[in-house]
Amino acid sequence: MIPVTQPFLPPKEDYEKKLELIWEKKWLTNNGYYVSNLEKMLESELNVPNLKYVTNGTLALQLAIKALDIQGDIITTPFSFVATTTSILWEKCKPVYVDIDPTTLCINPDKIESAITSNTVAILATHVFGIPCDVEKIEIIAKRHNLKVVYDGAHAFGVTYKGQSIFNYGDISTYSFHATKVFHTVEGGGITCISDELVTKVELLHSFGYFGEDFYLPGINAKATEFHAAMGLCNMKYIKQNLEKRKRISEQYNMMLPKEIQVIHIKENVGYNYAYYPVMFDSEDVLLRVISNLQTKEIQTRRYFYPSLNKLSYITENFDCPISESVSKRILCLPLYVDLDEYIVKEIADIIYSVIEGRN
């Protein structure tokens, strides 16, 4: 079986060595030694301030909404993982969907202003597949209408725009360090805040809202463990070589796949992380035939993201997002991970060729 993704694991002895200190200190959670060190290392590696390591990327989004005191309508993208929407709903806010840009697949900033009402309080945009949103246009709109901006950067680890981290935009940016991500801590997430005041609030919120003996806020438990942080510290040693491997595999796909299918476009001023390899077909029928033919060879793919979030069964209001709805039916993520062999890439490309040419 060829999986669509496969977590990178460091040498087992690297992790076991980290465990020795955990056993020695017997400090398993509550902002321990490894958690603190991982936060500092991530800030340095990504060149970002005020990074707080938390339990997972979904809680990171919820904490971001809570920390910014967002209550009302949040303009967001229909083309993202479901957690982008459910985080809004869990915080008792209303998602308002606007369509996406057909090239970047991120929220289309030219559609945002027409969706703003007196109830609009924020924009929550996703850097889809690690491709940066149009952060400059979004910032102009947000300032004009006094809106908060949260970026879901679950896919964007290591991505830069015009030489700086994509996580330095917006009021708050969030991370996912899930096992399927470019950089992982098995489970985990993070938050970068633009201000010291916000990060202090996030620190309180993620730890029951108390500091010392005093309770300041109605917080929650989103603390990460030393075991997860230790995995992150081990994986950090290999992140540069892993990104290079992912880039090389992506370039192999670029050379081998039929020119008839659409692949993601990376602008020249973007430093990309090759988090995923999505391809877009002319129709859902072609996509389904590709999936079926790859499955016969035990090659997994994923319809990422499907369906368009404005079509979820629990979204009762109608939102007009024809581009997202069309893309979500025709886009497919192909296998991409650091140990993927070139001959598998060629086999995948050959199968896709056979479908497009009508041989399967």
Catalytically active residues are 181
Distances (CA, A) of 353 to 203, 248, 261, 332: 51, 21, 10, 15
Assess contact for 111 and 131: CB atoms under 8 A.
Answer: no
How many of the other CB atoms lie within 10 Å of CB of 346? Answer: 14
CA distance 75 to 107: 10
The rounded distance, in Å, linking the Cα atoms of 221 and 204 is 10
- Taking the mean position of all CA atoms in its chain, how far away is CA 95? 18
Contact assessment for residue 207 and residue 15, using Cβ atoms and an 8 Å cutoff: no
Sequential DSSP letters for 52-91 = EEES-HHHHHHHHHHHTT--SEEEE-SSS-HHHHHHHHHT
Do the beta carbons of residue 123 and residue 147 sit within 8 Å? yes
Written as one string, the DSSP assignment of 304-345 is TT-S-GGG-TT--S----HHHHHHHHHEEEEP--TT--HHHH
Buried b (16+ CB within 10 A) or exposed e, 70-101: beebbbbbbbbbebbbbbbeebebbbbbbbbb
Q: Give me the amino acid identity at 278.
A: P
Q: Which residues of 121-131 are buried (b: 16+ CB within 10 A; e: fewer)?
A: bbbbbbbbbbb
Altogether, the residues listed in the chain come to a count of: 360
Q: Under DSSP, is residue 174 helix (H, G, I), strand (E, B) or coil?
A: strand
- Is residue 309 within 8 A of residue 78, CB to CB? The reply is yes
Spatial separation of the C-alpha atoms in residues 93 and 88, rounded to whole Å: 5
